[in-house]
Amino acid sequence: MSVEIFLGRHGQSKDNIAGVMGGHRDAKLTDLGRQQAHNLGLGIIDTGLTFDAVYCSPLVRAHETADIVAEVAGLPKPIVINDLIERNAGVLEGMKFDDIRRNVKMHVIIAEHIHYFLDPEGAETFPELVVRGQKVLDQVNKLHTSGRVLLICHGDIGKMIYAASTGQNWETVLTSFHLGNAELIDLGKHHDAHVIKLEQFNH
């Protein structure tokens, strides 16, 4: 047997609503973000999912999301894994996306909902994130040989954990699906991203 891993993104943060590149910035959840986390906990109950452990990023937007989800769904207290932290966006952290798109010249991958800037000064690269994502998977698999685990983190690192888990190319993963606030991915689905949409949870 092997452990089943589900991965979720944090609820809406104040940087999300402001259109700001978050990265390692420690922006808190908005009221909507807290409600999204609450609804995700209810959705976990509705779908009949149970988790033996919950791990989260050290950043407050993910940690608070994990705390709310765990409390609502009756899950174990979240434990921080530092490697679940979001991508370090280098010089772009704190900049508005509109300003980046207008003024910053760099390589970019344009997905349906997000522009991914590939080489800002001081930032982690996506291949580096895949390596970090694999470290998370190795750590979780060392701690759990069976059962089901929930990871609460962020969009970029979450996608690269998915890439590491499935062996898919990181560029393909960036454009193949959108991981919205408080949505889940079942990492056991190794061909198409099985994103569990928040809209399924009608609370």
Average pLDDT over residues 10-37: 96
In the prediction, which pLDDT does 99 show? Answer: 86
Long-range contacts of the stretch 97-105 (C-beta < 8 A, 24+): 97/19, 97/20, 97/21, 98/19, 100/21
What pLDDT does residue 202 have?
A: 42
pLDDT for 203: 40
- The model carries a pTM of 0.92
| Structural contact between residues 58 and 85, judged by C-beta atoms closer than 8 angstroms | yes
Strand partners, 53: 149
Flag whether pLDDT at 57 surpasses 90. Answer: yes
Query: How many structural domains are present in the chain?
Result: 1
pLDDT-derived band at 119, boundaries 50, 70, 90: confident
The parent domain of residue 10 ranges over 4-200
For 101-118, what is the mean pLDDT?
79
Q: Mean per-residue pLDDT for 43-64?
A: 96
Average pLDDT over residues 94-112: 81
Q: Residue 108 half-sphere exposure, CB side, CA atoms within 13 Å? A: 14
pLDDT at 194: 58
Predicted pLDDT of residue 149: 98
Directed axis angle between helix 60-73 and helix 31-47, to 10°?
40
Q: What is the CATH number of the domain that holds 26?
A: 3.40.50.1240
* Residue 163 pLDDT: 95
Chain segment 168-199, per-residue pLDDT in tens: 999 999 998 899 999 999 998 655 555 765 44
Count the residues in the chain: 203
**Predicted confidence band at 117 (pLDDT cuts at 50, 70, 90)?**
confident
Phi first, then psi: give them for residue 54, nearest 5 degrees: -125, 130
Mean pLDDT, residues 125-138 taken together? 98
Asked if 201 and 43 touch (Cβ cutoff 8 Å), the reply is: yes
- Separation CA 72–CA 92 (nearest Å): 35
Dihedral angle sign, alpha carbons of residues 152, 72, 31, 176: positive
Give the lowest-confidence range in 1-5, 110-114, 119-123, 162-166.
Answer: 110-114
The stretch 42-50 carries a mean pLDDT of 93
Residue 9, beta-bridge partner list:
153
Task: Report the distance separating Cα 145 and Cα 128, nearest Å.
Answer: 26
Mean pLDDT in residue range 93-113: 81
